[in-house]
Structure 1
Amino acid sequence: MTTSEVQPPKGLVTETSTTTSRRNSRRWTLKVTAALCVAFALPAPGFPSAHADQGRKTNNAYVTNSEDDTVSVISTRTNSVTATIPVGDGPFAVSVTPDGRTAYVTNFVDDTVSVISTRTNSVTATVPVGDGPSAVAVAPDGRTAYVVDNGDGSVSVISTRTNSVTATIPVAFAPQGVAVSPDSRTVYVPASGNDTLSVISARTNSVTATIPVGNTPLGGVAVTPDGRTVYVTNFGDETVSVISTRTNTVTDTIPVGAPQSVAVSPDGRTAYVTSDFAQGEVSVVSTRTNTVTDTIPVGNAPLAVTFAPNGRTAYVTNANDNTVSVIDTRTNTVTDTIPVGNAPRGVAVASKHTKSSHDVRPDTRRPRQRL
């Protein structure tokens, strides 16, 4: 198989005898599961200092670069990288607090979460979590960050006041993504190990329901602004499951080519799904009819997608060409392409009224190994 033919393998859960071996294994996994086509990748751009955009009143997008161990800070006003922030080993996902002051970044290789001040664009705390943190979502009330621990089959609950883990919730095998309901009462975690969606009560920190979805949900999960519907991407059977939060049942299934991530627009009318990993597309889904109404060509190997708080712009990370595509949601066209770091994965936009977003991860599980 050539590098250009690399596809996301099944999810990652490894068990090795030493920390070094585990980290080397995860670093290898990062290189493979990002489906990086080195022969076709763009050169990594130079970055300003981490404080270059300090104090400026502008919305910023935060992008995790999994091979550089950095986060790129993009000014949404100029669509340019204004800062780069060193974080932990193998940054995957990012989510921002509703007030836009803090970003949480999962570091898949060293089992930590980097806490970033968006005012200074610097790491202010590092939180140890479970094995292989692959996704994060800050609750809309801003009090809690939920971190998916892929290797442990658990969710770490972080208090954003103390930046410490206050609870650990067992979920299904190989959990991938996470989303929180608008009222902050319910947490949704898809797991590729048994093709289900775990429904968690934020009050009791326990699983209250388990919903069968499609084949190999890679972590793409989003809740509509009214809290009535959840969308889950199923990479294995190329569908998106539509779930009623009232009945916790699948009410519709949408055919979408090789879906990765999903985000719902702030007005709730549209869902964007990163799809067709090889060709690089975003499928536009009407949430009224649950049908694909348009497709948008983007970069190579699109992974994560998020909307700006005003809904007029969407941002897509392209892992194989080290770029972020900027989409005008009124015309469903790419209006700009921003070079970032090596193997960008997660993206979130911070502003005064931020809507948190989270990365989708190609299912990176491998069979457990003992060395």
Structure 2
Amino acid sequence: MTRNGDLVRRTAAVLCATAALTGLAAAPPERPGPVVYVANLHSDTVSVVDPRTGGVVDDVPVGDGPDSVAVSPDGARLYVTDSAADTVSVIDTRTRTVVETIGVGREPSRVTVSPDNERIYVANVAGDTVSVISAATATVTDTIAVGDAPLGLAVTPDGRTLYVANAGSDSVSVIRTDDGTVTGAVPVGAGPTALALAPDCRHLYVSNLTSDDVSVVDLREGTETARVPVGDQPAGIGVRPDGRRVYVADIGSDTVSVISTRSHTVTDTIAVGDGPNGLAIASDGSHVHVSNFDADTLTVIDTETSTPTATIPVGNGPTGVATQTAPPTPSGPAGV
């Protein structure tokens, strides 16, 4: 795997399994329900988890070093950054197979999709760039220079603005998506790795891996207005759909910090598995899903009680996590 030493490898993997090979994958449910996708950095697979049963229903082989996953708005595609192959694998969520492999920049880490389903944005941590992919043609249409070691990505609901966390520059780049112009950079904490937009788009939350805190950026003012101390090495981050709480995976503390968006203070700390890094919140806000990089597991947290309800074995070195309400019904053999 092409990583810039153990620290950068860890940062890119955590910052923001062989069922398919043995033919033992369970058949998908007749009525498709919500699923959770987990990128397994060391298994070169994506685990497909059924949160209703608490089990892995498929493992999809992808490129070398899968780091991050993002579901298209229509639910038809899953995009996976292959960090050691400098590619993005495109998975058909109905057949659970890779249908395209797209070359991007050096060491792609994070990925997100525009709300109109037309563009895919990829942060290339070793290239200091963001690749823009056309969903229609599956080709790179633009490459945007940003700060040092870009990781986390967030795009506004109107699709007009893209935010990029630059772990090496301690800043967040602001990009106008219509022409790919970088319009500014907001200074934040040390080692920003993941981003989460508030539902009302008033604030952007930034997990700072090195300074052990979360920056709160007022998007109207374009400045950091608060800094919230959390656990050691905060990485994955997400906001509940109601906008009341922010959840942060603390790699070094083996915890998830819960932040009140009203007081900007930590109101709860939840113990999870070893090395929590990726984090995704269910669309209804009922559960948080956290990948534990050193435990090879996925922890499911009930947001009402702030307690873990399940620990699910996945692939080796789980990193990025994405949730999907109800994908298209798979057809044909699963995992081939």
Residue-pair matches, total: 322
Q: Is the 8 A contact 2:111 2:121 kept in 1?
A: yes
Go from structure 1 to structure 2 and tell me whether the alpha carbon gap of 1:30 and 1:75 turns closer, same or farther (over 3 Å shift).
Answer: farther
Alignment of 1:211-360 (within 5 A): 211-217=186-192, 219-258=193-232, 259-275=234-250, 277-352=251-326
Go from structure 1 to structure 2 and tell me whether the alpha carbon gap of 1:339 and 1:35 turns closer, same or farther (over 3 Å shift).
Answer: farther
Q: Is the 8 A contact 2:203 2:217 kept in 1?
A: yes
Go from structure 1 to structure 2 and tell me whether the alpha carbon gap of 1:126 and 1:213 turns closer, same or farther (over 3 Å shift).
Answer: same
Alignment of 1:74-153 (within 5 A): 74-153=49-128
AA aligned to 1:331 is T
Match of 2:174 in 1: 199
What do residues 216-270 of structure 1 show as CA deviations (whole Å, max 9, x unaligned)? 11x2111111111100111211111100111110011111122112101111111
Match of 2:332 in 1: none
Q: TM-score, normalised by structure 2?
A: 0.90
**Aligned with 2:131 (options 140, 156, 159):** 156
Distance in 2 (CA, whole Å) between partners of 1:30 and 1:250 is 26
AA aligned to 1:187 is L
Distance in 2 (CA, whole Å) between partners of 1:143 and 1:281 is 36
> Alignment identity in percent?
46
CA RMSD of superposed structures (Å): 2.3
Distance in 2 (CA, whole Å) between partners of 1:237 and 1:179 is 21
Match of 1:26 in 2: 3
Bigger strand share:
2
Alignment of 1:37-48 (within 5 A): 46=19
Gaps of 5+ in 1: 1-22, 37-43, 355-371
Distance in 2 (CA, whole Å) between partners of 1:205 and 1:83 is 37
AA aligned to 2:205 is Y
Go from structure 1 to structure 2 and tell me whether the alpha carbon gap of 1:320 and 1:310 turns closer, same or farther (over 3 Å shift).
Answer: same
Kindly state the Cα deviation for residue 140 of structure 1 after the two structures are TM-superposed: 2.1
Q: Is the 8 A contact 2:19 2:58 kept in 1?
A: no
Go from structure 1 to structure 2 and tell me whether the alpha carbon gap of 1:187 and 1:28 turns closer, same or farther (over 3 Å shift).
Answer: same
Q: Is the 8 A contact 1:307 1:315 kept in 2?
A: yes
Distance in 2 (CA, whole Å) between partners of 1:160 and 1:307 is 25
Distance in 2 (CA, whole Å) between partners of 1:167 and 1:194 is 22
Distance in 1 (CA, whole Å) between partners of 2:314 and 2:74 is 25
Distance in 1 (CA, whole Å) between partners of 2:38 and 2:84 is 17
Q: Is the 8 A contact 2:12 2:151 kept in 1?
A: no
Is the deviation greater in 337-346 or in 44-53? Answer: 44-53
AA aligned to 1:306 is A
Report the 3-state secondary structure (helix = DSSP H, G, I; strand = E; otherwise coil) of the residue aligned with 1:53.
coil
Go from structure 1 to structure 2 and tell me whether the alpha carbon gap of 1:206 and 1:32 turns closer, same or farther (over 3 Å shift).
Answer: closer
Go from structure 1 to structure 2 and tell me whether the alpha carbon gap of 1:187 and 1:31 turns closer, same or farther (over 3 Å shift).
Answer: closer
Report the 3-state secondary structure (helix = DSSP H, G, I; strand = E; otherwise coil) of the residue aligned with 1:283.
strand
AA aligned to 2:241 is P
Q: Is the 8 A contact 1:102 1:117 kept in 2?
A: yes
Is it true that 1:174 corresponds to 2:149 in the alignment?
Answer: yes
Kindly state the Cα deviation for residue 122 of structure 1 after the two structures are TM-superposed: 0.8
Distance in 1 (CA, whole Å) between partners of 2:322 and 2:12 is 21
Is the deviation greater in 156-165 or in 338-347? Answer: 156-165
Report the 3-state secondary structure (helix = DSSP H, G, I; strand = E; otherwise coil) of the residue aligned with 1:165.
strand
Is it true that 1:209 corresponds to 2:184 in the alignment?
Answer: yes
AA aligned to 1:282 is V
Kindly state the Cα deviation for residue 291 of structure 1 after the two structures are TM-superposed: 1.0
Q: Is the 8 A contact 2:3 2:9 kept in 1?
A: no
